[in-house]
Amino acid sequence: MHRKVAANGNEAIANAMRIANPDVCGAYPITPATEIMQRFTTFVSNGKVKTEMVLAESEHSAMSACIGAAAAGGRVATATSSQGMALMWEMLFIASGLRLPIVMGMANRALSAPINIHGDHSDGMGARDCGWIHLYCENAQEAFDNMLMAFKLAEHMDVRLPVMVGMDGFITSHAIQTMEWIDDETAANFIGEYKSTNPLLDIKNPVSYGPLILADLYMEYRKAQEHVMSGVPKVVLDIAKEFEQISGRKYGLFEEYRLDDAEVAIVVMSSAAGTTKEIIDQFREKGIKVGLLKPRLFRPFPYAEVGEALKHLKAVAVLDRADCFGGSHGPLYVDIASALYNYAQRPVLINKIFGLGGRDYMPDHAEYVINELLQITKDGKVKSVKEYIGVRE
C-alpha cells in the first residue's frame, strides 16, 4: 500500500535511510540537514534501525567514520549541508577513490562568507568533481525516491561509488509537501541486501586500504575510476526502471518537460524546475513552444544524452543556483555548453545566475528568461551571455 502523506524533504530522506537500515552512520549536524539526522537518530533510539550511530566532532570526522565503516564492510549513510560539505571535502575524494558505496543526503545550502543558511547549490557544485555520483531532486518525493535508489546505485557491483542526493535547503528540506511513501518491505526489498567487497573485518581474507600509489600507477587508477563513472548512467536507468515497477514513478538521467517540439528551453536543477514548469504551461497556452530540461544525474554528467535532447532548440537559458568566481559561467552552463559544442547546429546559449543564498526564484523570473529567449529567436541579438537575475542593480 502506498500512503500519501504531508512530509518535508528531510523527513523523506530520513525515512529512506530508515528503510535502508545502514550498519553505520557517522554524522554531525548542520542546518538545514540537521533534521535528517535528528529524525534518524530517533529511529536509532527507538530501535527502528540497527544502525551504529557515530556522533563525530566535525564533518571531516563524520565522513572519516563513514569511510572506515564502509571499508570495514558495512552499509553506510550520512547527511550534510554547506560548510559541513566543505569540511568533508578532503574525505570525499578518499571515499570515491577507495570505491566505497556511501550514501549521503545533502540539503543544498549557500557557502560562507557572508554566512547564509539558505538554499543554493554552492556546496554541491564545490564537490562536483570529487568522484561522487550526484543526484538532484525537485521536491520531497524525488528526495525520497532518489535516496532509495541511491543505495541500490552506490552498492551496485558495477558501480561501488559514493552517491550524494541533493535537494534545495529549506525550500525542499523544510517545506511540507504531498508525497507518497512506499511501504517499508517493498522498498527494503528493492534496495536489497548489502554485499560487501573486500571488507576489513573479514579476518580470514586480510586486506589493506589506502596504499601509496605514485607516478608509476596513479594514472592507471584514475583512468579506471573515470571508466567506472562512464558506466554509471546505464545503471541509473536500469535501477529507475526497476523503481518504476514498485512506485509507478518514472525517472531518467534528466527530466524533459514539453521539450520535444520546443523552440526555446530553460535548463534548471532542483526546486526551481517546479516554478519554471508552471510558467512554461502558461506560455504553451498561448501557443509558444517552450520546454524544460531538469538534470537529475549531475555527476557523471550525461553529455551525449543532454546534447541530443537540446540540439534542436533555437535558444536555451541555463539557470545556475551557484556561480564560479573567476570562471566564465555558472557550473551547469559550462556542462550544457560542453554537451552542445560539438554539434554544428546548436542553440544560442545564455546563462542566468539566480537564487543565491535562498533568494526567491519567482514566476516572473522564469517569464523574463523565456521572453529573452523568444527575443533571441526573433532578432538573434544576445544582450549578455551571463547575467544575475533577481538582484538589485
Partner 1 sequence: MKTWKEVPPGAVITEPGSSRKFKTGSWRAFRPKWIPENCIQCLFCWIYCPDMSVKVKDGKRTEFDYDYCKGCGICALECPGKKGNKAIVMEEEGK
Is 222 or 249 the residue whose CB approaches partner 1 more closely?
222
339 binds partner 1 (CB under 8 A): no
Minimum Å gap between C-beta 213 and partner 1 is: 6
341 binds partner 1 (CB under 8 A): no
Residue 275 burial (10 A CB sphere; 0-12, 13-18, 19+): middle
Residue 196 burial (10 A CB sphere; 0-12, 13-18, 19+): middle
75 binds partner 1 (CB under 8 A): no
Minimum Å gap between C-beta 137 and partner 1 is: 28
Using the contact rule CB under 8 A, the part of the chain among 3-11, 92-100, 147-155, 311-319 near partner 1 is 92-100
Is 133 or 262 the residue whose CB approaches partner 1 more closely?
133
Minimum Å gap between C-beta 388 and partner 1 is: 41
Helices 232-247 and 184-191 cross at an angle (nearest 10°) of 160
d(CA 141, CA 145) in angstroms, rounded, equals: 6
Minimum Å gap between C-beta 210 and partner 1 is: 7
Minimum Å gap between C-beta 71 and partner 1 is: 8
Mapped onto helix, strand or coil, the DSSP state of residue 387 is: strand
Nearest partner of 109 among 54, 205, 34, judged by Cα:
34
Site for partner 1 in 126-165 (CB under 8 A): 160
Site for partner 1 in 351-370 (CB under 8 A): none
99 binds partner 1 (CB under 8 A): yes
Is 176 or 207 the residue whose CB approaches partner 1 more closely?
207
Cβ atoms of 9 and 145 closer than 8 Å: no
d(CA 393, CA 382) in angstroms, rounded, equals: 20
Is 78 or 96 the residue whose CB approaches partner 1 more closely?
96
The β-bridge relationship of strands 386-388 and 348-353 is parallel
Cβ atoms of 15 and 66 closer than 8 Å: no
Is 47 or 211 the residue whose CB approaches partner 1 more closely?
211
Is 38 or 197 the residue whose CB approaches partner 1 more closely?
197
d(CA 377, CA 17) in angstroms, rounded, equals: 46
The β-bridge relationship of strands 290-295 and 254-257 is antiparallel
d(CA 386, CA 369) in angstroms, rounded, equals: 12
Residues 181-220, mask of contacts with partner 1 (x by CB under 8 A) = ----------------xx------xxxxxxx-x--xx-xx
- With b for 16 or more beta-carbon neighbours within 10 A and e for fewer, the 57-72 pattern comes to eebbbbbbbbbbbbbb
Nearest partner of 80 among 39, 20, 34, 18, judged by Cα:
34
Minimum Å gap between C-beta 74 and partner 1 is: 15
Residue 115 burial (10 A CB sphere; 0-12, 13-18, 19+): exposed
In the list 224, 304, 382, 391, the residue contacting partner 1 (rule: CB under 8 A) is 224
Cβ atoms of 213 and 42 closer than 8 Å: no
Using the contact rule CB under 8 A, the part of the chain among 20-28, 98-106, 145-153, 233-241 near partner 1 is 98-106
Is 188 or 228 the residue whose CB approaches partner 1 more closely?
228
Using the contact rule CB under 8 A, the part of the chain among 91-99, 138-146, 245-253, 284-292 near partner 1 is 91-99
Cβ atoms of 357 and 120 closer than 8 Å: yes
100 binds partner 1 (CB under 8 A): yes
In the list 228, 288, 337, 374, the residue contacting partner 1 (rule: CB under 8 A) is 228
Minimum Å gap between C-beta 225 and partner 1 is: 9
Q: How many residues bind partner 1 (CB under 8 A)?
A: 24
Mapped onto helix, strand or coil, the DSSP state of residue 241 is: helix
Minimum Å gap between C-beta 382 and partner 1 is: 42
Is 66 or 167 the residue whose CB approaches partner 1 more closely?
66
Minimum Å gap between C-beta 95 and partner 1 is: 10
> Which alpha helices (DSSP H) does 98-198 contain, by range?
122-126, 140-155, 184-191
List of residues contacting partner 1 (CB under 8 A): 97-100, 160, 197-198, 205-211, 213, 216-217, 219-221, 223-224, 227-228
